[in-house]
Amino acid sequence: MNVLILGGMSQRHYAWIREVAEVLRPHFAQVRLLDYAHWASDTEMDVEHEITEAVKLAEDFGEYIVVAKSIGTVVATLANARGLLHPDYCVFLGFPLKVVVTELPEVADSLPKLPPVHFVHNEHDPLGDADAVKAYLEAHAPESYDLLVSPGDAHDYVNFDLILDLAKG
């Protein structure tokens, strides 16, 4: 089994995806990660461009899972719904509800098309309170999912042991 890692929008996720990769690498055949173009250019993120880049990374990848944080969950969800990515399952950290509701409404119709997915969300994440995320997921439910709510009020997800446990299935 292989892993595709998609980070969040912020430039600091350049380091985060590498930390996640180091934790996962001993347990998976291949680990690939996506460096978003806007991290280097200091411009706005182009979600469509990053979907294209994620698809390129997954070509000839064999069986794989996706581990994604924040906007990476959107990239994976939209690409999967369009039949461009085909993960066996996903681990999603910090679903960016406020961004999805205001800027990316097509995610709602894409969520039910996901493979099995584990959502991990901090109770008072500033991009969406866990209760609001739970209600949104219930309204647009993937066929098979669970939501693990962690204590916290940040949009940081650095419990690498938990990420590893969920990624290993």
Domains belonging to the chain, first-starting first, are 2-167 (3.40.50.1820)
Write b or e for each residue in 56-88: b if 16 or more Cβ atoms lie within 10 A of its Cβ, otherwise e. Answer: eebeebeebbbbbbbbbbbbbbbbbbeeebebe
Tens of pLDDT, residue by residue over 11-41, are 999 999 999 999 999 999 999 999 999 998 8
pLDDT, one tens digit per residue, over 122-151 is 999 999 999 999 999 999 999 999 999 999
Burial of 19 (0-12, 13-18, 19+ CB in 10 A): middle
pTM beyond 0.95: yes
